[in-house]
Amino acid sequence: MTQKNQEIGTTAFGKVAVLMGGSSSEREVSLMSGQGVLQALRSQGVDAHAFDPAEQDLCALKTQGFERCFIALHGRHGEDGTVQGALELLGIPYTGSGVMASSMGMDKVMTKRIWRFEGLPTPDWRMVASVAETEAAFAAIGSPMIVKPAREGSTIGLTKVTTLEECAQAYVLAARYDPEVLCEQFIAGDETTCPVLGTGAAAQALPVIRIVAPDGNYDYQNKYFTDTTQYHCPSGLPPQEEAAIQRMVEKAYRTLGCRGWARADVMIRASDRQPFLLEINTSPGMTGHSLVPMAARAQGISYEALCLRLLATATLDSAGPEA
């Protein structure tokens, strides 16, 4: 692309708001994602500006003349359909999935119900609303068991339970973030993640990333603030195994009606190499430790090109599938 053509292409985006920060428990990570996106877009000639919904009313997007939004928000009021709904009412196109897909993707239980209905493999689970129900879930699911909020991200509020005595503390921690708590069968094996770009039949998975965290603990700290977690991309998995995961993730993405981009987490059971879908992230991180940019680089897509590509997909539910 020549400089002249690049300027024509990027100025066509108009005034762009990079939504970052927000009021969720993932605010700190969102600010890092947003700053990365903001710098990348500006470096490519886009008239991009930071916009923090925790500091300004979303209606200011309209009065300040913004023509599209890059959503770099994470967690509640960012990727759960609420901001998407507000932007639909304001008539401002935005990146990522629409209202319904965002809402379903944020709710791990609803996501698992849909995947299970569609025949996609996901670990066994129970919804619980008390310590007693958590203990009953432990008896049914077995050890180890994961206890986590149904509508949080970045492993916030998550506990790996190995004894009955640990159930109470795990439930209390998860319930601090969400009244709906998910108890899930733990899958021992390789931890992987796979991003998807595009919409509908054109959606395509990027290379799979295999994650090796210290002591197998891929928690909030090891995700974003340490350099001890190892990310393998190429994954080192057998080619047929990686291809099967990519096909499964593409189906999982389309089943929920996602668009633009997302990233699905997959565990591969060591005993038989069966992959299991854990959850999907419809507003993935864009920090220095983030995984979508890593997979994109392996595909030959730079961080700046990825940001431009995502911005170009900004649309509205009301614009229809051909938008």
Residues with catalytic roles: 26, 154, 224, 263, 265, 279, 281, 285
Residue 48: exposure state from Cβ atoms within 10 A (0-12, 13-18, ≥19) = buried
Contact 199, 142 (CB under 8 A): no
What's the rounded Cα separation, in Å, for the pair 195 and 307? 14
Contact 259, 321 (CB under 8 A): no
Q: What is the dihedral of CA 212, 216, 220, 224, to 10 degrees?
A: -20
How many whole angstroms separate alpha carbon 148 and alpha carbon 79?
Answer: 18
**Which residue has 């992987």 as its token pair?**
192
